[in-house]
Amino acid sequence: MAPRAQWKGVLRIGAFTCPVALFTAVSTSERIAFHTLNRATGHRVKREFVDSVTGKPVPAEDQVKGYETADGRTVTLEPEEVAAAVPESDKTLDVTGFLPCDQIDEIYLDRSYYLAPADAGAETAFVALREGLRKAKAAALAHAVLFRRFRVILVRPQDEGLVATLLNFDYEVRSARAAFADVPQVKTKGEMLDLARHIIDTKRGTFDPAGFEDRYEAALAELVKAKQAGKPLKPARKAAGGKVIDLMDALRRSAGTAGGTPSAKAPKKAPARSAKAKGAKEAPAKAPAAKSRRKAG
């Protein structure tokens, strides 16, 4: 059964148009979902909006939106006033420009959707756009009204179709400076860097999402299955407490378990002294000639 399109419209680049359909790329519908029940009766409970002061229920027709200002006052908005602020959709994905794929800051990427031709008549134009983007290694920057909001969208080729990714607005993305402000400027030593590279190289692989395990979802499934069968529940395993360890020792151990330590020359063993040498009086060693010190660069 073909998936149902979330949105249908026209992708437009100047005079070039192509009917397209938007399909869900990421869904959480397969996750385990719970209902909230009354423990005593087993009946499902429902939510009800009540006045925070009087405690009395407030019917839907008496509910309005409110925005609290910095000085503590509340601005009240009627439902029709909020609805009037929703931009009108013209069902157009309007491309405003193109940019190299390697210039895209991934922190701005939000939710992605698959973009496909809306009908057989759009296939030729769709393929031309897809292959043009692929050969140019470029992405199209577009905007449209989707799901009652104005959205900025990044369109990129993928497999036989296109992927449309909603972008976060600049005001929504927090500056990294605040998060990294307390990270010290530490100079990494050569041995530590070599060990880190060795661990990375021995653990290097390919991106395979099929190998990712949702442990929480798996634990919930086991819990539901056990309760349904009337089996006793397994006690939860406690996570081992973290220990403060030396970073170099940890890297060396990781390198050893990751498939061998980096190659290093073994220290030469000093030759055993003969019995004659042990009894003989050693001549005083000559002081080595002084060497000029090399200044650190």
At residue 125, the pLDDT reads 96
Domain that holds residue 15: 7-26+87-172
The CATH code of the domain that includes 125 is 2.40.290.10
pTM exceeding the 0.75 threshold for the entire prediction: no
At residue 190, the pLDDT reads 81
**pLDDT tens series, the chain, 297 aa:** 678 999 999 999 999 999 999 999 999 889 999 999 999 999 999 999 999 999 999 999 999 999 999 999 999 999 999 999 999 889 999 999 999 999 999 999 999 999 999 999 999 999 999 999 999 999 999 999 999 999 999 999 999 999 999 999 999 999 999 899 999 888 877 888 888 888 888 889 888 888 889 989 999 999 999 988 888 877 777 766 666 566 667 767 766 655 554 544 444 444 444 444 444 444 444 433 444 333 333
In a domain, 63, yes or no: no
In a domain, 260, yes or no: no
At residue 281, the pLDDT reads 42
In a domain, 199, yes or no: no
In a domain, 249, yes or no: no
Number of domains in the chain: 1
At residue 270, the pLDDT reads 47
Distances (CA, A) of 186 to 59, 81, 191, 199, 297: 60, 55, 14, 20, 18
At residue 284, the pLDDT reads 42
In a domain, 58, yes or no: no
In a domain, 295, yes or no: no
At residue 257, the pLDDT reads 58
In a domain, 217, yes or no: no
In a domain, 151, yes or no: yes
